[in-house]
Structure 1
Amino acid sequence: MLEVKNLTVSIDGRTILDELNLTVQDGEVAAIMGPNGTGKSTLSYVIAGRKDYTIESGEVLLNGVNLLDLEPDVRAAHGVFLAFQYPLEIPGVATMTFLKAALNAQRKQRGEAELTTPEFMKRVKGAADKLEIKQEMLKRALNVGFSGGEKKRMDILQMALLEPSFAILDETDSGLDIDALRIVASGVNALRSPKRSFLIITHYQRLLDYIVPDTVHVMTKGKIVKTGGADLAVELEKSGYRDYSVEEAAA
């Protein structure tokens, strides 16, 4: 279970998250929607451990462990995974080399034995086939020359291999056509589990047609101001965010 308690975060003296509270239960798929600039991506970066931000107050607990006390690689070993809105290209680093290094680094952090090459290859092939990732892609440098959809599928492949307990998808639908969206969503849905939670950050309801959330949160001005079921996303698609404000949440 993830618990964000009274989290206040700033950058260059400007408050981005303002005493934010959020709980995501084990097995839950939670979505956060809201206008640009409201702090949605900041929340994902803070959970994952990006250093650009100043934590003014609060806690981020994953299964009772305060992630804010841990380095990013240790957070990852504890089960945190972040799929980026814009996955980075890394020239000169072979995709398979990167995947094996990431997987074995986490296993080592948890005191587990590294995978042998045959074991690793078997896992990659099985996961790649489900995401319609061709073997030719796996032979290239990480994300170099990939389309937007291919980059997103590569992120989901990483998630499938690392098997996190808490996965964040930061606007994964950005730049995807319908076919790529369907493939990515299918990969995410295949990983849904009572032991794995998801936090999906998106502007648009269309992604949530494919990955149906248990809970939808509306975020404005660094706070969660409304929470509901999947039907809330449909309402937001029709009416936008004008009906939700921090003042209403406090009333």
Structure 2
Amino acid sequence: MLKITDLHASIDDKKILTGLNLNINPGELHCIMGPNGAGKSTLSKILTKHPDYSVSSGSIEYTLNFEKNNLLNMDANEISLNGVFLAMQHPVEIGGISNFQFLKEITKSHCLHQGVAATNDEDLKKIILNLAEKLKLPSDFLDRSINDGFSGGEKKRNEVLQMLLLKPNLIFLDELDSGLDIDGLNIIAKSIKEFQNSERSFLLVTHYHRILEKIKPDFVHVLYNGKFIKSGDYSLAKKIEDQGYSWLI
């Protein structure tokens, strides 16, 4: 589904990624860990075309429905419409636009891209409110501005709601677990597990072992100095929790 080959990238002429390689197959859940400043969040931002980051060499190949796409040649909107989703570490607040209007418009644009009829407002509200209930979001959140007055945990759950609504194929979760209390963590972990299937792939960036205990990633990669220095299964995350990174770097 996703193949990254010898990726080099920078921000403000500072090298962040220095020859990164990664292959994610359909149905797999990968996790990126690493010390502060290793460039963990950089990768998800590059994959979704954050304008501050520049790719100097390498390739990012995304395959959907047996069709190969070069993400480096697509803009952020194209990437989203083709089934790639990023849950942000710091969801922004946007005044003047209600959550419902926002969710309605992104749903409409995806339906248009797929050539299917958009869901009417009444049915869409029912779908969203059902998801909101599962995520323990307040019922009045649809009428509030995007993330306006939301707690940190509510903002993260709103990101997950968008994921569940759009049903993407490739999902990047950028430190989605940071700042969550145990209840919020359990809600989000359960939603991720229920959303997984044989065709959907995840790339999770995290500092913490606690969410990995709940979702059990297939692969764990340690990023340091712009490339992966160690990969393994869930047991690697447990070893890092116990011993830190000093034995690796």
State the TM-score, normalized to the length of structure 2.
0.95
Calculate the aligned-residue CA RMSD, in Å.
Answer: 1.1
How many residues are paired up? 245
- Whichever residue aligns with residue 39 of structure 1, its letter is G
| Mapped partners of 1:241, 1:9: distance in 2 | 24
What's the CA shift for 1:125? 2.3
State the secondary structure of the residue aligned to 1:146.
Answer: coil
1:78 aligned partner = 82
What's the CA shift for 1:189? 1.3
Q: Which consecutive aligned stretches of 4+ in structure 1 deviate over 6 angstroms post-superposition?
A: none
- Whichever residue aligns with residue 117 of structure 1, its letter is D
| Mapped partners of 1:49, 1:158: distance in 2 | 19
What's the CA shift for 1:212? 1.3
State the TM-score, normalized to the length of structure 1.
0.95
The counterpart of 2:163, out of the listed 159, 163, 171, is 159
Q: Find out whether 1:108 has 2:112 as its counterpart.
A: yes
Asked whether the equivalents of residues 21 and 224 of structure 1 are also in contact (C-alpha less than 8 Å), the reply is yes
2:209 aligned partner = 205
| Mapped partners of 1:28, 1:75: distance in 2 | 20
What's the CA shift for 1:166? 0.5
The counterpart of 2:154, out of the listed 147, 150, 155, is 150
State the secondary structure of the residue aligned to 1:219.
Answer: strand
- Whichever residue aligns with residue 39 of structure 2, its letter is G
| Mapped partners of 1:109, 1:65: distance in 2 | 16
What's the CA shift for 1:230? 0.6
Gaps (5+ residues) in structure 1?
A: 246-251
| Mapped partners of 1:177, 1:98: distance in 2 | 27
2:194 aligned partner = 190
State the secondary structure of the residue aligned to 1:203.
Answer: coil
Q: Find out whether 1:236 has 2:240 as its counterpart.
A: yes
What's the CA shift for 1:118? 2.8
- Whichever residue aligns with residue 106 of structure 1, its letter is H
2:182 aligned partner = 178
What's the CA shift for 1:154? 0.3
The counterpart of 1:95, out of the listed 91, 94, 99, is 99
Pick which of 66-75 and 123-132 moved more: 123-132
| Mapped partners of 1:111, 1:222: distance in 2 | 40
Deviations, residues 100-138 of structure 1 (Å, cap 9, x unaligned): 111111222233322222331232122222212221122
Deviations, residues 57-116 of structure 1 (Å, cap 9, x unaligned): 111111121111001010001111001111101111100000111111122223332222
2:18 aligned partner = 18
The counterpart of 1:215, out of the listed 198, 213, 219, is 219
Q: Find out whether 1:62 has 2:62 as its counterpart.
A: yes
Identical amino acids, percent of aligned pairs:
43
| Mapped partners of 1:43, 1:127: distance in 2 | 29
| Mapped partners of 2:16, 2:218: distance in 1 | 26
Asked whether the equivalents of residues 74 and 109 of structure 1 are also in contact (C-alpha less than 8 Å), the reply is no
Pick which of 115-124 and 1-10 moved more: 115-124
- Whichever residue aligns with residue 31 of structure 1, its letter is C
Gaps (5+ residues) in structure 2?
A: none
| Mapped partners of 1:189, 1:147: distance in 2 | 23
